[in-house]
Chains A and B, each alone.
Chain A
Amino acid sequence: MSRANSTELTPEGIEIERHWQELASRRRAYSWLIGIGLLIAVTGSLWFANDSNAGKFFDRLPHFFDFAGDLVPRDGWEVWRALFDLPSPYFDGSLKFDYPEGRVYIFSGLYIPEYFYKMLETLNIAIISTLVGAFFGFLLCFLAAKNLVKSKLIRFAARRYMEILRAFPEIVIAGFFAAILSLGPIPAMFAVGIHTIGALGKLFFEVVENADMKADEGLRAAGANWFERVGFGIVPQVMPNFMSYALLRLEINVRASTIIGAVGGGGIGEELRLSIGRGHQAKTLAIILLLLATIIAVDQFSAWLRRRLVGNQAFAFGGKQS
């Protein structure tokens, strides 16, 4: 006990401290090694990226600021005029300011401005492909769940099938269907929808595997068949989680269908790509504004609904999402 206040260590203590020092220095060495390795990798990667880029970083940097500067609107109303397709005082005969071709007339005189219509198109692609994906994911997920299907073969087949649907690059599916159906929103729908089946199917079957099996047991004791057990025992408990994941997917799909749209699937993505490419600054800003508003609105709506459905657990982050 007399050693309690002294700084001297017992021989065992010295041994322990030596060990600890050794461990610590080894850990430090590993950290340094990882750090240096990452540094080399990043430097190499950046050099490679810069080397194989069309423009070099430092050559293009001034252009970057020029481009950003060009985007600044000349007066406060310019962006709104572009957004609502109103006549512009700067009109010079080019498509830069007025763009009446895209108007969708409901009655003569009353029209939906082009960008709103395109945004609606993109939103519809996202919603319908989420619905289709959720529907097929729903059908598939029960076959992949360990607690419902005893046959390893069926489970294996269902899981691999979903994995393939998920891993296959969306752009390839879009391109393939574009070759058959010609460019347009429907190939985009196929691409986003097929990917969604795989992604949601995986999340769904994980939910099913975590379901409480007591209801199922009760139904089995009463002589229910497999469909009745799934329908009355499992589906009611997993439905809120399913809806929550489907909504989360909707958020992702709004972004995905914009991107696929830019590649050739129509909708607002394509408008944005063309507008940036042609140097229509006010229109670009208008589209970005519209997209930003839509994405935030969809995210907020989905967050609100998910919180109502499953409470705060919907916002716990983990490897499970997406």
Chain B
Amino acid sequence: MSAITSLNVADFEARYPDVFNPSILKRFMPLIIGAGVVLYVIYCWWFFSIGTVLASGQWQRAEIYARDWVSYAIRTTVRMGAEGTTISYPRFSELGDNPKSDWAIKQGNDVTITFGTGKSLQITPTQVIATRGSEKLLVLIEPDGAKPQGALPDWASLKEDQVTVNFGFAGTADIIPERVVVSRRFFGWANFVFDTASPFWNKSLGEVASMIVSGERIKPEMSNAELAFDNIWYNSSWQHGDVWTKLLQTIVMAFVGTLLATLVSFPLAFIAARNIMPNFFANQITKRFFDFLRSVDMLIWALFFTRAFGPGPLAGISAIFFTDTGTLGKVYSETLENIDDKQREGVKSVGAAPVNVQRYGVLPQVLPVFASQALYFWESNTRSATIIGAVGAGGIGLKLWEAMRTNTNWHNVAYMVVLILAVIFIFDSISNALRSRLMGKQQ
């Protein structure tokens, strides 16, 4: 019996009609679903006019914004005139009040700006020579505009009287009559620890340490260590103090919200569980109450409490507390309904009081599960707390959103994202470790 004869085939077909001759609906179900999905996508394309929005999006900005996450640009202007060239920096430059740089050097009447190896600008009062690798571009400065000589390489462009030279990541330069505007880009975050107003700014770690340990008091009213901390905490461009306070608010919101929700939903779950509270109305009322709390979304609660308590973490705590009392209550009561009844019966049979039946017959079974679920919600609430913060319910969300809306502070966004990811990662690990200890290996 190694080959199937035609008789067998007919046999099989007769025996399993629904496999070989399924109904038309069943046969074309995948096709119908697929066609439905395609139609739906087309409908959404039209509904949101996705095509137009995507086409009118300013995608060239995406690269600039993404670059701003990890780098910063220093702007400088080189002015040319009859009296020679001068280098100037904007008033609030990253280089401080007295800016000096080793990439913009003035020698006599000429200025040389280097953009890394093989890339440079040589600026004299009448002309600019841009070098990128083996290619060179000579731009003559005339009163009616910058005049590039010869063919433009693909890294330079001419627009009216202005020549823009692009050195890739290292920066760009706009050559305009009488001045060259340079944007020189560097990796990293500028002035992350001390801002330019701080006396510790631009000092090496060793210098700062020796100033703190043995230096003279810079400000008579406080020690240097205090001053250093103060300078870091109130760093004007990074606002470490504010960011960390807001981050702590987010953490607190998730922690207190989840803990209170656990404490409140714990006794309520016993009332909602059918097998523990044999009263139909009490069960139903508690369960519908949980459903209500859960279905009125966290957002609604957040907006509601923001309006009531004013913006801040109290609103966030309340929102998480209300939503999660519902969710945890539901989960807890379902866990309680699935417990093994034998232990309860055992405790009941020796004549224990009702409270003791719950304490010794039920609690030991469910407590690890309850704790594990609470930990799980704590961890996921840390993520949600970031988002509801953006509507005003406290925490780092609003700060993050505001930093993004300015479109120029992407480095601050990157900083906060790194902090949030670190917090989520740490809490994730703690919660996972605790949960696997509570639940044993099977989780």
Contacts and interface: CB of A to CB of B under 8 A. Distances in A.
A170 B397 CA distance: 11
B299 A172 contact: no
A291 interface: yes
Nearest to A134: B37
A54 B386 CA distance: 18
Contacts of A259: 297-299, 387-388, 391
B268 interface: no
B308 A63 contact: yes
A64 B413 CA distance: 33
Contacts of A272: 299-300, 303
Contact of A262 (B299, B310, B394, B443): B299
A305 B424 CA distance: 33
Contacts of A119: none
Given A171-B401, A180-B58, A317 B314 contact: no
A233 interface: no
Contacts of B37: 131
Contact of A185 (B48, B56, B305): B48
B14 to A, nearest CB: 24
Interface stretch (B103-111, B244-252, B272-280): B244-252
Contacts, number: 180
B238 interface: no
Contacts of B420: 169
B47 interface: yes
A211 interface: no
Contacts of A171: 386-387, 390, 397, 400-401
Interface string B35-57: 00100110010011010011011
B405 interface: yes
Interface string A255-297: 1101110111000010011001100000000001001100110
B249 A49 contact: yes
Contacts of A277: 307
Contacts of A184: 53
Interface in A290-311: 291-292, 295-296, 299
Contacts of A168: 417, 421
Contacts of A288: 296, 300
Interface in A102-122: 121
A167 B390 CA distance: 17
Size band of the A side of the interface? 35 or more
A139 to B, nearest CB: 15
Contacts of B372: 319
B383 A273 contact: no
A64 B315 CA distance: 11
Nearest to A181: B57
B148 interface: no
B61 A180 contact: yes
A176 B295 contact: no
Interface in B281-319: 291, 295-300, 303-305, 307-315, 317
A53 B335 CA distance: 36
Contact of B252 (A49, A124, A317): A49
Given A127-B40, A169-B417, A263 B313 contact: no
A58 to B, nearest CB: 11
A322 B334 CA distance: 18
Interface stretch (B121-129, B174-182, B197-205, B253-261): B253-261
Interface string B14-48: 00000000000000000000000100110010011
A293 to B, nearest CB: 9
Contacts of B401: 171, 175, 263-264
Interface of B: 37, 40-41, 44, 47-48, 50, 53-54, 56-59, 61-62, 65, 245, 248-249, 252-253, 255-256, 259-260, 291, 295-300, 303-305, 307-315, 317, 331, 334-335, 372-373, 376, 380, 383, 386-388, 390-391, 394, 397, 400-401, 404-405, 407, 413, 417, 420-421, 424-425, 435, 443
29 contacts: A42-B260, A48-B313, A49-B252, A49-B313, A49-B314, A49-B317, A50-B314, A52-B245, A53-B312, A53-B314, A54-B312, A55-B309, A55-B312, A60-B310, A124-B44, A128-B40, A168-B417, A171-B397, A180-B61, A180-B62, A180-B65, A181-B54, A186-B53, A273-B303, A276-B307, A295-B295, A295-B297, A317-B331, A319-B372
Interface of A: 38, 41-42, 45-46, 48-50, 52-55, 57, 60, 63-64, 67-68, 121, 124, 127-128, 131, 167-172, 175-176, 178-182, 184-186, 189, 255-256, 258-260, 262-264, 269, 272-273, 276-277, 288, 291-292, 295-296, 299, 315, 317-319, 322
